[in-house]
Amino acid sequence: MNDQGEFYALQSLCGHQNLPLAGGKVWQGVIDCPWHHFQYDIRTGENLYPKRIYLLNTLPKLGEQISPLCIYPVRIVDEQVQVEVPQACESG
């Protein structure tokens, strides 16, 4: 994805219910899942919402659903966006 001229690549499925993040709005470094509005930092994959809003120790099921998204290194070569997909998931 392209956010203000910077390119990022991250896993395509949301940690909440494994639904596609495709079509989610990106704004100021945050992608908003189009299904139930979980939000992730596109640079680190960190869950920002609901993680920063709810007390997760009181909602154990939610705690399982907010793991960070995998992020993938991106580089631009001859005006092409290249994404490296490593064997193991990286996050923040």
- SS3 label, residue 22: coil
43 binds ligand FES (CB under 6 A): no
49 binds ligand FES (CB under 6 A): no
What is the Cα–Cα distance from 63 to 88, expressed in whole angstroms?
A: 22
Q: What is the DSSP string of 43-87?
A: TT--EEETTTTS-GGG-HHHHHHTPPPPEE-EEEETTEEEE---S
52 binds ligand FES (CB under 6 A): no
Nearer to ligand FES, 16 or 43 (CB): 16
Q: Which one, of 77, 82, 12, 16, lies nearest residue 42 by Cα?
A: 12
Tell the smallest beta-carbon distance from residue 33 to ligand FES (Å): 3
Tell the smallest beta-carbon distance from residue 87 to ligand FES (Å): 25
14 binds ligand FES (CB under 6 A): yes
The binding site for ligand FES (CB under 6 A) comprises: 14, 16-17, 19, 33, 35-38
